[in-house]
Amino acid sequence: MTASADGGSRTRGGAICQLTRMLSVAVVVGVLVGLAVAPVVGLTAMFLADVTRHFPAPLSFEPLPQRSEVVDRNGETVATFYQRNRVVVTLDEVDPLLVDAVLAIEDNRFFQHGAMDPQGTMRAFVTNLLRQEQAQGGSSITQQLVKLTLVEQAGSRRGRLEAVEPTYERKVVELRHAAWLEQSHSKEWILERYLNIAYFGEGAYGVEVAAQHYFSRSAEHLSLRQAALLAGLVSRPEGQDPVEQPGRAKDRRNVVLDRMAEVGVISAERAARTKELGLGLQVAPTPNGCVRSAAPFFCDYLLAYLLRQPALGVSEAAREELLHTGGLTIRTTVDLRFQRAAEQAARAHVRPTDQAIGALAMLAPGSGDVLALAQSRPMGRDRQEGETFLNYVVPQEYGDANGFQAGSTFKVFVLAAAIEQGIPLDTEIRAPQRISLPVSGFRTCQGYPRSTQVWSPRNSTGSGTFDLYTGTQQSVNTFYAQLERRTGLCRPYRLARAMGIPLTDPATQQVPSFTLGVVDVSPLEMAEAYATFAARGRHCAARPVTEVLDAEGQVLDSYSADCRRILDPGVADAVNDVLRGVQETGGFGYEAGLGLDQQSAAKTGTTDENRSVWFIGYTPNLAAAAMLAGADDDGHWRTLNRQVIGGEFVSEAFGSTHAGPIWGDAMKAVEQWLPDTTFTPPPRRYPPEPEQP
C-alpha cells in the first residue's frame, strides 16, 4: 500500500470512529429526551423504594486510619507511624477553593441530587465519549464514598479488587449503599468523609496530607492552582502523578480549571491565567517509622517502651495497631536540640564502619526525662555502611544490645556508701601499686563469705596516700578496694540497684571487683544512676514519654515521673563535691579539656583489656553518659587498643581521652540551654553534728 493510500485509509477510519461517537451521542440524547418526557420523580421514588426493600447490611463507618505523630518536648516532630498517611480534618479546615474544585470536576450538583445524579452521569458520559478520556466523573460523590469505603475496609487484595470491579451487581450494591447513606447522613458529613478518605497518590490519603505532601502546607490555605491540581488527582492519582508525570498532571489540572469556569465558581479569565502557571510543587515526604526519623534510636526506644503499656491495648499487636492507625499525638521527653548535638558528637569521634561504637545518653535529673540518645552507627540494614538495628544506648530489653561493663564508674556507689556510713572525706588510705586482699574480708548482704580466694587489683593511674577526694579524682583502684572493704558490698550493691543498675544476681555480683564494674550496662542506665546524685539523692526512672493523646486530643495515657529518695541530700551533696574534682585542676576531665562554663561533676571508667571506656558527668540539671566500646559488626566485644577509631590510631584507650570528647562536645553544645546553677555545698561532715542546745 502506498503512503497516500495509507493516509486515505486512516482518514476514512477516523471518519468512521467520529461517526460512531456521534451516533452514540445521538442515542444518549434520545434517552435523555425520553427521560425528560417520563415522570422522572416518580420513577426515582419507585427505584429508591425498591433499593430500600432489598438493602444489604449498612456500611459501618469506623474512624479512618490516621498517622500518629511523635513530638519532642518543644512540639517539634520527631517521627510518624502509619499504615495510611492520613490526617483527618473537618470541612471547615479545608480551603473553599479545594471544595469548589472537587465538586466541579466530580459532582457539581452534589447538593441538588440524591444518591445518584442521572443528569450528571449523562453529562459525564457524553463529555468523556467525545474527548475519549476520563475528563469528568460519572458517579456521584456519595457513590464514590461508598466505593472508597469498601476498598478501605477490604481485608485482602481480592476484596479490594471486588470492591472496584466493573460489574452490574457491584454497581447496584454501591447504589443501594449510597441511597442509605444519603438518608442517614448529611451532605456535609458525606463530603467531609470523602475528602478525608480519598487517595491522592504518593502515599497521601485525604486532602490534608495531600496538601502537606505536594505543597508543604495545610489544606486550609491553598491557592487556586494548588486546589485544582489536588482535585484532579482524585479520579486517577497514579496516572497523573505530579512528581513522576508533571505534564499529565498539569493537563488534568487545567481540565479542572476549565470545569470550574464552566460551572461558574471562577471566571474564565482567572482560569486562563492560572493555566499558564507551573505546578508549584514543594514536595515534602512523610517518613514512616524510626529509620528516617529525627532521632532514630530514641524513636526505637520509645516504640519498644510504648508496646509494653497496657493502657494502649490488650496485647502488643493491638498496641502496635493503635500506634499506626489511631492518629495519636505522642508527647515525648526528647529535646531535638540536645539530640542533634548528641548525634553530632558521637559521629564526630567514631565512624560508622569502625570496629567500635560511640554512644551517648542525656537525661534530666529530678524527672528522668530522656533528652537525647545517640550512637555512631546509623540505623539501617546496610552493614557495609556501618548501619545497624542494635540500639547500644538503652537497656537490652529495649534495644537488643547486651551492654558493656562500665569500669571505675561503679566506684561512685562505694563512695556514696562510705559517706553515708560516716567515713570522713579526708580519711587517708595508703594505696600501693598492687594489693592482695582476702575475699572473705568483704561483707555481703548475707555476711562474710567463706572463701580462701584472694583479690589482687592494681593501679593504672598512680600510687601513694589518698583521701576520698584525691583517690576519686585519680581513680585509684587499690584505694577503692580498701574503701570497699570498709563499707562492705551490701550497701553499694543496693544503692546501685536502687539507682537503676540491672543487678539481679547477688551471688556473682556482690564480689570485691564490684567497684570496678561487674555487670553489663547501657549509657542510659548509667546516666539515670548518676542523675540521682545531681538530683541530691532523688532517683527518677528514665522515661521517654509524658502523655499520649488520641485523635480527638483527649489524654489516652499519661506517664508521671517515677521518683523516690535513695540518698540523704547531704550524702549526694558530698558525692557531687568529690566528683567535681574530676573536672577541676588535676582531674582527668579537666586535663582532657572537658570542663564547662558552669559547675560539673564526673567520673571516668576503663575496663579490662580496654574493651570499653566511659565518661559520665553531670551538672545540677543534666546528666550524660558517654561510652566508647569495641564492637564488631555483630556487636561482639573486642579491644579498643591498636584500632583506628575516628580516623586516628588508638594505642591505648581511656575514658577521659576517648569517651570524654563525645561527652564534652555534646555538653558544650547544649550548655547554652541549661540554667546556670551550682551544686549545693556539702555539710562539713556526715552525718552532720547535732546542734548544740
CA distances (Å), 255 to each of 117, 239, 242, 272, in order? Answer: 21, 15, 15, 11
Relative to beta strand 68-71, strand 329-332 is parallel
Q: Is 274 helix (H, G, I), strand (E, B) or coil?
A: helix
What pLDDT score was predicted for residue 688?
A: 66
Q: Residue 37: in which H helix or E strand, if any? A: helix 3-37
Grid cell, residue 93, equals 479546615
Q: Is 15 helix (H, G, I), strand (E, B) or coil?
A: helix
Each domain of the chain, given as residue ranges in start order, spans: 14-53, 83-275
Q: Which amino acid is at 183?
A: Q
Distance CA(211)–CA(89), nearest Å, equals 12
Grid cell, residue 271, equals 482560569
Backbone dihedral region of 388: left (phi > 0), alpha (psi from -120 to 50 degrees) or beta?
beta
Distance CA(103)–CA(93), nearest Å, equals 16
Cβ 1 vs Cβ 9: under 8 Å = yes
DSSP state letter for 691 = P
Distance CA(231)–CA(224), nearest Å, equals 11
Start-to-end Cα distance in the chain: 127
Distance CA(361)–CA(485), nearest Å, equals 32
228 class by beta-carbon count within 10 Å (0-12 exposed, 13-18 middle, 19+ buried): buried
What are residue 645's phi and psi, to 5 degrees? -125, 125
Instruction: Give mean pLDDT in consecutive 10-residue pieces for the chain, a chain of 693 residues.
Output: 42 42 41 40 50 64 96 98 98 98 96 78 58 60 92 80 75 86 95 98 97 98 98 92 96 98 98 97 97 98 98 97 98 99 98 97 99 98 95 94 94 98 97 97 95 95 95 97 98 98 93 94 98 99 98 97 98 98 94 95 95 98 98 88 96 96 98 96 74 53
Helices and strands in the chain, H and E counts: 25, 22
CA distances (Å), 440 to each of 321, 417, 445, 503, 594, in order? Answer: 55, 20, 13, 21, 40
Q: Exposed e or buried b for every residue in 144-162, given b needs 16+ CB within 10 A?
A: bbbbbbbbbeeeeeeeeee
19: Cβ–Cβ under 8 A, 6 or more apart, which residues?
A: none
Q: Is 610 helix (H, G, I), strand (E, B) or coil?
A: helix
Distance CA(533)–CA(416), nearest Å, equals 9
User: Is the backbone peptide bond immediately before 39 cis, with ω within 30 degrees of 0?
Assistant: no
Q: Residue 571: in which H helix or E strand, if any? A: helix 569-579
Cβ 530 vs Cβ 495: under 8 Å = no
Which residue blocks in 329-476 are alpha helix, DSSP H? 336-349, 396-399, 411-420, 468-473
What pLDDT score was predicted for residue 116?
A: 77
Beta strands in 238-349 (DSSP E): 329-332
690 class by beta-carbon count within 10 Å (0-12 exposed, 13-18 middle, 19+ buried): exposed
- In order, the DSSP letters of 130-142 are HHTS--S--S-HH
Grid cell, residue 391, equals 540500639
Q: What angle do CA 407, 413, 419 make, to 5 degrees?
A: 140
Q: Which residue has the cell 574530676?
A: 582
What pLDDT score was predicted for residue 127?
A: 60
CATH T-level fold of 83-275: Penicillin binding protein transpeptidase fold (1.10.3810)
DSSP state letter for 420 = H
Neighbours of 433 (CB within 10 A): 13
Distance CA(82)–CA(251), nearest Å, equals 32
- In order, the DSSP letters of 522-544 are -HHHHHHHHHHHHTTTEEE--BS
How much is the pTM? 0.87
Widest Cα–Cα separation across the chain: 127
CA distances (Å), 327 to each of 81, 88, 194, 330, in order? Answer: 9, 8, 18, 10
**236, HSE (Cβ side, Cα atoms, 13 Å):** 12
Beta strands in 108-208 (DSSP E): 204-205
DSSP state letter for 130 = H
Cβ 504 vs Cβ 483: under 8 Å = no
Distance CA(624)–CA(525), nearest Å, equals 10
